[in-house]
Structure 1
Amino acid sequence: MRARDLTVVLFVITIIVMLIIPLPDIILSILILINITLSLIVILVAMNTSEPLEFSILPSLLLLLTLFRLGLNVSTTRSILGTGSAGNVVETFGTFVIGGNPLVGFVVFVILIIIQFLVITKGSERVSEVGARFTLDAMPGKQMSIDADLNAGLINEQQAKQRREKIEREADFYGAMDGASKFVKGDAIAGIIIVMINIIFGLIIGMLQQGMSFNEALNTYMQLTVGDGLVSQIPALLISTATGIIVTRAVSEGNLSTDVTGQLLQYPKLLYVAGITIFLLGVFTPIQFVLTTIVALILIGGGFLLERPSKVEPVNEAEIEEEETTEDMRSQENVVDLISMDPIEFEFGYALIPLVDASQGGDLMDRIVMIRRQLAIELGLVIPVVRIRDNIQLQPNAYQLKIKGNEVATGELLLDHFLAMTGGLDSDELDGVDTTEPAFGLPAKWITEEMKDDAELNGYTVVDPPSVVATHITEVIKKHAHQLLGRQETKQLIDHLKESYPILVEEVTPDVLSVGDVQKVLGKLLREQVSIRNLPVIFETLADFGKMTNDTELLGEYARQALAPQITKQYTMGKHQLKVITVAGEVEQTIAEHVQQTEHGNYLALDPEKQQRIIHAVKEQIEKISLLEEHPIILCSPTIRMYMKQLLDRFFPHIIVLSYNELEPNLDVQSAGVVNII
């Protein structure tokens, strides 16, 4: 055990000893001086902290110091009533304050108690209660502010984590201070009761047991009681003041001394006014003229001295900033920062600044926060922070989205217009600027606000520009979600799963599959828009089949089959039937016969002529089912599903390919066409 830890343990043991064992007067005097010293240290530390969290141990310290003072009260009371003595320190305080008059000393002590109990302690208790309530109420707003700064790129993940931790610590601190202030209040009440006990029973013991007269007993025990009360209540008063200082600290840039002198004396000319006022009091009132003149001269002289620094030539802040920037750019840390790449970047032209500027009503940052939460629920993947910045190289109304530094989507917005999507209607019926809806590629028009109502009455879907770009961002991130899942992100998902399913995770990784293998399986699912939120089911599948094969493509197929209820619900949208395009047996047999098996995995080796025939057949069926306004879904056997998807991916990247094992048995599957090459 370290020396500091041992000191605290000995301190607590000393408190217990004081409560049980009578102590000699010299030991009591030493402990009383320690009590006064500790209270002085506490109030000095409270005055020199810049913010309350720098003294976060104060609630626990209040409990220990309060218990220490109560232990001293028990020991001194035992000595006063038992031996008529409580050490040199108590006697000195009593003699010094009373000055030969016990009644005066008692009055002074009562005033001290009233100041502590009714003014400082009661005020600190109320401020602690309100501070705790307001801190808890402000937590959601502070969290949203951190998320907005994070999405805007003003802070990084580490800084956001530190700010969140600070908010949590503030809530815990003010909650603890609310409770700890009750200790201080109870200590003040206990001090009053102990004094009354010492006086009453001191008189009884002195007169009945020791044969003293009333005046003699009153002088003896009143002196010791007042001295004991002073050496106990003065440290208590200092601790109460320190508590009040800490809980009343609000927005601050320095310690209490710096803030008081800096803010109270920030207007030197006001000292001239105060000095002249004091001088006039000496002239027109009976107050001593010499005394008021000295005070007035001090105030006027102080104002003159405080004004002198303002005449110093100001420093060129621009030059300092430029020097600091140059120095920062030379540092190795900033050079390393330049090569880092954001996972997701949203850049826009200067005309779209109102889209993200909250002062101009822009709410894109808040929308992106909601997009990240929505995708976390839909995909089971924590989407990285979207770094938002303006780019003067883009057209004023243009924007672009980058994934790991590569441009993956672009678009244009007219902020003073609305986007009207035709929905299959004749677009010429509506006047506007022809365009294409960026997320789904639908024909659309930019229309003015005056035309919005007419467009809606004619069956158009009308959306505002922020909704257009938010939908585009959502769809692009969904499409490229597999690129955002790296080994680090996979490890975080595994660690999160391990908290609830430790045995399941241990059975899969790292012995059976590495983190990289798990990442490939999850990436394969995300590539085809299959949510990985149900990680326990995926890991159950990997635990069952991971020992039989290390082919991640094949393991991904097994995982898809295990997620059959989820996939069925995803494409039926709550209905009990599904229209699909089936694959003829001859086509399935042709594909199966041309699967090549290697030690690095299996792949489809089909000659170009047969590939073209299959692709042409699929194209015909897609065109037919599109006339029925149905989304094309290819249904085939489990053995060729992934090869069919690989074949069609280059020509029909958005087409869905399912296997029979990925659909629930009670689903009504209706064939809307057959892929046949005969």
Structure 2
Amino acid sequence: MKIKKNDLFIGIYLLSAVIFFIISIPSWLLDILLALNIAVALIILFNALYAKEVLDMASFPTMLLFTTIFRISLNVSSTKLILTKGDAGKVVDTFGKFVGGGNLVIGAIIFIVLVIIQFIVINKGTERVAEVTARFTLDAMAGKQMAIDSDLNTGAITDKEAAERRKKLQLENSFFGSMDGATKYVKGDATAGLIITGINIVGGIVMGMMYNGLSINEALSKYTILTIGDGLCSQIPSLLISLATGVLVTKASSDGELGDEIVGQLFSMDRVLMMVGGALTVLGVFTPLPIYVFVPFGVALILAGRKLGDKKGEEQIEEEVEREETEAQEIRKPENVVSLLNVDPIELEFGYGIIPLADVNQGGDLLDRVVMIRRQVALELGAVVPIIRLRDNIQLNPNQYVIKIKGIQVSEGEILFDHYMAMNPGYVEEEITGIPTFEPSFHLPAIWITESQRERAESLGYTVVDPPSIIATHLTEVIRQHIAELLTRQDVQNLINNIKENNSTLIEELVPKLLGVGEIQKVLQNLLEEGISIRDLVTIFETLADHAPVTRDTDILTEYVRQSLKRAISGKYFPPNEVTNVVTLDPAVEQDIMGSVKNTEQGSYLTLDPEKTKKIVASLKDAIKKLEDMGKNPIVITSPIVRLYFKKLVSDYIKDIIVISYNEVESNVELQSVGMVTE
């Protein structure tokens, strides 16, 4: 296996650090390595300064560890040379003499100042910032994850984009967690450098006096200068690395160029510059401070502030003119006006108290349930439910949720977080205490109970459901009620395309020769309005192709399709091996209904006398009450020719009534009439 150059460089870098702990190196090699150490520190600093986001330097914690170990190994090597030979190379000697100006006291003070700056100011601040950033980043992970799942569920992003966002989120969490620990290396490095310097001074004096025959003053002068030079060679790169660490953790919220942001934010307000300039001018004129320093600075800042104010005024005027022109252009653009009119087919808005139910990191599974709703409706009714958009709405009560269809609120509900809804199925006699409420889907009486009451309520026979199930059930029922109007022509075209591959002859005969997409849409909507599944599209289209040459009346075609789907209809409403109780129509009522049908080019309608209509509806309600008292579905059986018109007649008065013709009932189904609708 071929080793990459970068891997070889890192390996040598780390291996050399380990070797320097063990063997002594010549002073000339130490000079080269100290220069390399300073160069690496400067490279890291400027990379941190110009990185657009923290993940551009995701490996920084590891860099911190590598450079710290390498720097300490050089410290150990220079200590060996100082103590054994009294010579640690040109770099150490130059730092000791030049930085201190040849003065032992000045050099020592400069070294101590550098250590204090690094240890107390930069290291301590960086450590705290890294700790807080790591904590807040980890705390915010749940909300960010929920936002990604919500955008994915609503179709705002693709699976690939969601995966990239999740990966970036994990990298950020890992980075800031690592940085929290890596800052401890920087702090320890400064402490180690200070201790090594003290050891070098003491050890150097002892070595100079005992083995080299130097006086205490000579030993102190020689070894102190070398030790200070060695300390500066270590502390300056360490200071640069510490500064890079601080820059990186404090720019976490910024994605732009750090230099542009600092200068732009610092010199962005003309009033600030003019006030500071005025203050400096006053100090220069009315105090003993040097006038030739403060007044020029003050005047320069005042002039810069005025120039900035004039520039901002011009920019503001230009922005206003540009905004007005843009608004005028936007108004003139019909496509932009149309985009403002777009509404989401289905929306679920909820208060902030319900957010945890949609947060997978807190055990919430509402997003998964929304996906399952679309699958359930597709299997049950054969229609594709549009994307369900989930939004939090601070204007709602914390525990309130609202369901909208095409931007209009159609239903709402309210749940109690950390509570369960218990409903009496009708046969439970013992009552339990709780907060009275109504189940939002079917408006049945219920009570809110706590977690501790759940097991007892279930043992008594209550139906107990959790808040996510309540919302999901409610949303499912609303979708079932409005699925017909949610079925668009484009949806119908997609359904046609799905079956065209295996049924090309059927589609070529039907569309558009016999029926248009809009007419097929109307037939499918008629079926969905009465809860009839359209999954068996082949049978539906075959029936339409058979009868479309005779009539293009979508209501009549719907009746033919229903008769072709009688097996599915019977299976839905009539359990096998059971006698089903139903209501029938008096033949006289059927004759009156058919006699009042008027056919026009726009369709058929009834002209039945209002008094007769009133009597029919009253008789129907009485008959249906018998079924409801028996716990049965309100099913009415009619003649095939009457079914459509009777359904139209009574649907405004009785919402959930099921009207089925004799031709839609399988021959093996047993029916028993418990009432008859009369006039």
**TM-score > 0.5 by shorter chain:** yes
Q: CA 1:375–1:617 in structure 2 vs 1: closer, same or farther (change >3 Å)?
A: closer
CA distances 1:248-304 after superposition (whole Å, capped 9, x unpaired): 224324122111111111102211111111111111221111111221133223324
Amino acid at match of 2:191: I
What is residue 94 of structure 1 aligned with on the other side?
Answer: 96
SS of the aligned residue for 2:318 comes to: coil
Instruction: Tell me how far apart the structure 2 counterparts of residues 466 and 276 of structure 1 sit (CA, whole Å).
Output: 64
Structure 1 stretch 130-139 or stretch 95-104: which is displaced more?
Answer: 95-104
1:621 aligns with 2:622: no
CA distances 1:139-171 after superposition (whole Å, capped 9, x unpaired): 112222333344444434333332222222221
Instruction: Tell me how far apart the structure 2 counterparts of residues 92 and 364 of structure 1 sit (CA, whole Å).
Output: 63
Instruction: Tell me how far apart the structure 1 counterparts of residues 156 and 287 of structure 2 sit (CA, whole Å).
Output: 61
What is residue 229 of structure 1 aligned with on the other side?
Answer: 231
Contact 1:152 1:365 in 2 (8 A): no
What is residue 289 of structure 2 aligned with on the other side?
Answer: 287
What is residue 81 of structure 1 aligned with on the other side?
Answer: 83
Instruction: Tell me how far apart the structure 1 counterparts of residues 122 and 369 of structure 2 sit (CA, whole Å).
Output: 50
Instruction: Tell me how far apart the structure 2 counterparts of residues 46 and 233 of structure 1 sit (CA, whole Å).
Output: 19
Match of 1:307 among 300, 306, 309: 309
1:413 aligns with 2:378: no
Q: Give the drift of 1:322.
A: 11
What is residue 349 of structure 2 aligned with on the other side?
Answer: 356
Instruction: Tell me how far apart the structure 2 counterparts of residues 385 and 217 of structure 1 sit (CA, whole Å).
Output: 86
Q: CA 1:137–1:364 in structure 2 vs 1: closer, same or farther (change >3 Å)?
A: closer
Instruction: Tell me how far apart the structure 1 counterparts of residues 214 and 48 of structure 2 sit (CA, whole Å).
Output: 47
Instruction: Tell me how far apart the structure 1 counterparts of residues 196 and 161 of structure 2 sit (CA, whole Å).
Output: 51
Q: Give the drift of 1:137.
A: 1.5
What is residue 213 of structure 2 aligned with on the other side?
Answer: 211
What is residue 50 of structure 2 aligned with on the other side?
Answer: 48
SS of the aligned residue for 1:356 comes to: strand
Q: Give the drift of 1:362.
A: 9.9
What is residue 578 of structure 1 aligned with on the other side?
Answer: none
What is residue 74 of structure 2 aligned with on the other side?
Answer: 72
What is residue 169 of structure 1 aligned with on the other side?
Answer: 171
Instruction: Tell me how far apart the structure 1 counterparts of residues 329 and 161 of structure 2 sit (CA, whole Å).
Output: 25
Structure 1 stretch 43-52 or stretch 302-311: which is displaced more?
Answer: 302-311
Q: What pairs up with 1:385-400 in 2 under 5 angstroms?
A: 386-388=387-389
Q: CA 1:364–1:97 in structure 2 vs 1: closer, same or farther (change >3 Å)?
A: closer
Q: CA 1:317–1:82 in structure 2 vs 1: closer, same or farther (change >3 Å)?
A: farther
Instruction: Tell me how far apart the structure 1 counterparts of residues 197 and 575 of structure 2 sit (CA, whole Å).
Output: 101
Contact 2:122 2:246 in 1 (8 A): yes
Instruction: Tell me how far apart the structure 2 counterparts of residues 376 and 386 of structure 1 sit (CA, whole Å).
Output: 9
Q: What pairs up with 1:262-661 in 2 under 5 angstroms?
A: 262-310=264-312, 311-312=314-315, 314=318, 316=322, 347=345, 356=349, 366=358, 370-374=365-369, 386-388=387-389, 413=410, 469-472=474-477, 618=576, 621-623=579-581, 629=631
Instruction: Tell me how far apart the structure 2 counterparts of residues 140 and 443 of structure 1 sit (CA, whole Å).
Output: 35
Contact 2:369 2:472 in 1 (8 A): no
Structure 1 stretch 200-209 or stretch 161-170: which is displaced more?
Answer: 161-170
Rg comparison, structure with higher value:
2
Q: Which runs of 5+ in 2 are unaligned?
A: 379-384, 392-401, 416-422, 427-438, 446-466, 492-532, 534-563, 583-626, 634-659, 662-667, 672-679
TM-score under structure 1 length normalisation: 0.55
Q: Give the drift of 1:79.
A: 0.8
CA distances 1:486-531 after superposition (whole Å, capped 9, x unpaired): xxxxxxxxxxxxxxxxxxxxxxxxxxxxxxxxxxxxxxxxxxx9xx
Amino acid at match of 1:114: I
Instruction: Tell me how far apart the structure 1 counterparts of residues 37 and 371 of structure 2 sit (CA, whole Å).
Output: 55
Match of 1:5 among 4, 7, 10: 7
1:241 aligns with 2:243: yes
Contact 1:356 1:365 in 2 (8 A): no
Contact 1:128 1:177 in 2 (8 A): yes
What is residue 185 of structure 2 aligned with on the other side?
Answer: 183
SS of the aligned residue for 2:276 comes to: helix
CA distances 1:175-212 after superposition (whole Å, capped 9, x unpaired): 10011011101101100110011000000000100001
The alignment-based identity, stated in percent, is 37
Instruction: Tell me how far apart the structure 2 counterparts of residues 318 and 25 of structure 1 sit (CA, whole Å).
Output: 72
SS of the aligned residue for 2:214 comes to: coil
Instruction: Tell me how far apart the structure 2 counterparts of residues 363 and 191 of structure 1 sit (CA, whole Å).
Output: 51
Amino acid at match of 2:245: T
What is residue 587 of structure 2 aligned with on the other side?
Answer: none
Instruction: Tell me how far apart the structure 2 counterparts of residues 398 and 6 of structure 1 sit (CA, whole Å).
Output: 61
CA distances 1:78-100 after superposition (whole Å, capped 9, x unpaired): 11111111111111110112323
Q: CA 1:244–1:114 in structure 2 vs 1: closer, same or farther (change >3 Å)?
A: same
What is residue 201 of structure 1 aligned with on the other side?
Answer: 203
CA distances 1:561-596 after superposition (whole Å, capped 9, x unpaired): xxxxxxxxxxxxxxxxxxxxxxxxxxxxxxxxxxxx
Q: Give the drift of 1:13.
A: 2.1
Instruction: Tell me how far apart the structure 2 counterparts of residues 358 and 376 of structure 1 sit (CA, whole Å).
Output: 20
Contact 1:117 1:185 in 2 (8 A): yes
Amino acid at match of 1:386: I
Q: What pairs up with 1:72-151 in 2 under 5 angstroms?
A: 72-151=74-153
What is residue 513 of structure 1 aligned with on the other side?
Answer: none
Amino acid at match of 2:180: D
Contact 2:41 2:241 in 1 (8 A): yes
Instruction: Tell me how far apart the structure 2 counterparts of residues 227 and 365 of structure 1 sit (CA, whole Å).
Output: 62
Instruction: Tell me how far apart the structure 2 counterparts of residues 398 and 220 of structure 1 sit (CA, whole Å).
Output: 83
Amino acid at match of 1:413: V
Q: Give the drift of 1:236.
A: 0.4
What is residue 222 of structure 2 aligned with on the other side?
Answer: 220
Amino acid at match of 2:41: S
Instruction: Tell me how far apart the structure 2 counterparts of residues 123 and 367 of structure 1 sit (CA, whole Å).
Output: 34
Amino acid at match of 1:194: I
Q: Give the drift of 1:398.
A: 10
Amino acid at match of 1:157: D
What is residue 576 of structure 1 aligned with on the other side?
Answer: none
Q: How many residues align?
A: 451
Contact 1:148 1:365 in 2 (8 A): no
Instruction: Tell me how far apart the structure 1 counterparts of residues 628 and 329 of structure 2 sit (CA, whole Å).
Output: 64
Q: Which runs of 5+ in 1 are unaligned?
A: 330-337, 339-344, 391-396, 402-409, 425-436, 445-462, 484-528, 530-607, 632-650, 653-673
Contact 1:364 1:466 in 2 (8 A): no
Contact 2:373 2:472 in 1 (8 A): no
Q: CA 1:364–1:21 in structure 2 vs 1: closer, same or farther (change >3 Å)?
A: closer
Q: Give the drift of 1:417.
A: 12
SS of the aligned residue for 1:86 comes to: coil
Contact 2:366 2:472 in 1 (8 A): no
Contact 2:403 2:475 in 1 (8 A): no
Q: CA 1:100–1:280 in structure 2 vs 1: closer, same or farther (change >3 Å)?
A: same
Q: CA 1:416–1:618 in structure 2 vs 1: closer, same or farther (change >3 Å)?
A: closer
Q: CA 1:167–1:184 in structure 2 vs 1: closer, same or farther (change >3 Å)?
A: same
Q: Give the drift of 1:16.
A: 2.0
Match of 2:162 among 150, 160, 163: 160
Contact 1:367 1:470 in 2 (8 A): no
Contact 1:36 1:235 in 2 (8 A): yes
Amino acid at match of 1:175: G
What is residue 588 of structure 2 aligned with on the other side?
Answer: none
SS of the aligned residue for 1:252 comes to: coil
Instruction: Tell me how far apart the structure 2 counterparts of residues 130 and 106 of structure 1 sit (CA, whole Å).
Output: 35
Q: Give the drift of 1:366.
A: 5.0
